[in-house]
Amino acid sequence: METKDRPVRTRFAPSPTGYMHIGNLRTALYGYLFAKKEGGKFVLRLEDTDAKRYVADAVQIIYDTLRDAGIAYDEGPDVGGPCGPYVQSERAAIYKQYAEELVRRGGAYYCFCDKERLESLKDENGVGRYDKHCLRLSEEEVREKLAAGVPYVIRQNVPETGSGSYEDLVYGTVTVDFKDIEDGVLLKSDGMPTYNFANVVDDHLMGITHVIRGSEYLSSTPKYNLMYDAFGWERPQYVHLPPIMKNAHEKLSKRNGDASYQDLVEKGYVREAIVNYIALLGWSPKDNREKMTLRELEESFSLAGINKSPAIFDEPKLRWLSGEYIKEMDDEEFARRARPFLQQSKAYGKYDEAKLLRLLKTRVEIFSEIPAKIDFLEEYGPIDPALYFNKKMKSDAEVAETVLPLAEECLKKVETFENAAVYAALVALAQERGMKNGQVLWCVRIALTGRENTPGGASEMAELLGRERTLARLQEALSQLQKA
């Protein structure tokens, strides 16, 4: 797709104010995917003109997050490009030039009102609206104030009547009455632009054909179009995205402490699963697939698949998707990613790592589950006799008193103390004694772990513990039963 014969160019323009939150990353992802699908360019621009909200190291967080998520930009502050600089604080002279040009074209005007006058326009609720006072100054008055060095801002000149309409590629025709739009500040008294002005100038100069952003900008877009029209510039195509909700009533918001991309990574979600899931928050492919690699997303993405309805962030679904990615990893990849979480476990370094990882691979959905899955190995203590009771297995403490000494003798004779051999020996024991397999296996697992739920059965736990610890725990468990 092209916009009036222009190659597609999209941009992601975050403010460096902290971690990358889900909504921001989705905007970046959709911009990237659309550009890739259309053979265009994806641009990163940093909107850092609001010094009060600037957070140290946030720029590096933006670079690291996009890189980590696999979202590669073609142009940006750290990779260069033909439309730089790509940092707004380095473009102040450009904004001043275009703000003054907009004044000459009648789309803006100088405003010299001081703080006291602006405060006087507010009502008892602190809500005020600028009254176009300075628009009525004569050219001579303006020249005199500028020559005298009176502080000023440049405000947009919004018509007092009429309305602005445009076609959004998701929401269709959008119309806003100009009476609902204030004459906002475009250039502040310190010479820095506001977001509203800078992004229009930058989008034009950087050749952006499609502006992809959140639906909260639907109603403010007509004021941007007024600037495009006043300059005589071609408007971009607009793609507004539905909000991401934490539930039916609340938006997902970093102000409310909702998860950022980095939070999810630190929780142990698979990175590819996070990106995959974020892509599905407001978009769906024609074939309704859910698990898609980034390459598959690049091939499948289309604006037609974007929904108007809000998307609900469903963490259980993300967990499931993360688990699906884990299952498909080869052992080497799983070990590499799991090891930092394994190192947080009390069991780390005390058991064969390869055996631990083999047990865990099909039993975790997020890596942070790993410590809790295996910490019990080092928390072995008194076993509640009630744990031996299992109606399905026809087991209880009395059955365990019979099974445990037999199992101890049986496992002393196993030549190769590995899962398959241990399992075969315990099943053979059950058959010899006329017992159900489950009776023997359940009692042995409870005796070895003291837990009802473990990442593996009796024979897997025995292999992990090794012969010496297995026999010692069977003896200890039997001793506890006999004293109970």
Q: In sequence order, what DSSP letters do the residues of 365-434 get, joined into one string?
A: SSGGGHHHHHGGGG------GGGG-BTTTTB-HHHHHHHHHHHHHHHHT-SS-SHHHHHHHHHHHHHHTT
Q: Is the pLDDT of residue 143 over 80?
A: yes
Whole-number pLDDT of residue 285: 94
| CA dihedral angle for residue 67, residue 70, residue 75, residue 76, rounded to 10 degrees | -30
Rounded Cα distance between 188 and 366, Å, is 47
Residue matched to tokens 């500028």 = 146
Rounded Cα distance between 163 and 176, Å, is 5
Cβ contact 71:28 at 8 Å: yes
Alpha-helical segments (H) within 301-343? 315-328, 331-342
In 3D, which of 130, 136, 132 has the Cα closest to residue 118? Answer: 130
Q: Beta strands 163-168 and 153-156: pairing type?
A: unpaired
Question: Active site residue: 254, 267, 361, 436, which one?
Answer: 254
Percent of the chain with pLDDT over 70: 98
pLDDT per residue as tens digits for the range 208-266: 999 999 999 999 999 999 999 999 999 999 999 999 998 888 887 766 666 799 999 99
Whole-number pLDDT of residue 1: 38
Mean pLDDT of the chain: 94
E strand or H helix that includes residue 359: helix 353-360
Cβ contact 206:43 at 8 Å: yes
Q: Is the pLDDT of residue 163 over 70?
A: yes
pLDDT per residue as tens digits for the range 270-319: 999 999 999 999 999 989 899 999 999 999 999 999 999 999 999 999 99
Residue matched to tokens 């409870």 = 446
Cα angle, residue 307 at apex, residues 302 and 309 outer, rounded to 5°: 165
Start-to-end Cα distance in the chain: 77
In 3D, which of 282, 168, 281 has the Cα closest to residue 220? Answer: 168
Q: Is the pLDDT of residue 65 over 90?
A: yes
Q: Is 254 a catalytic residue?
A: yes
Q: Is the pLDDT of residue 4 over 60?
A: no
Whole-number pLDDT of residue 2: 39
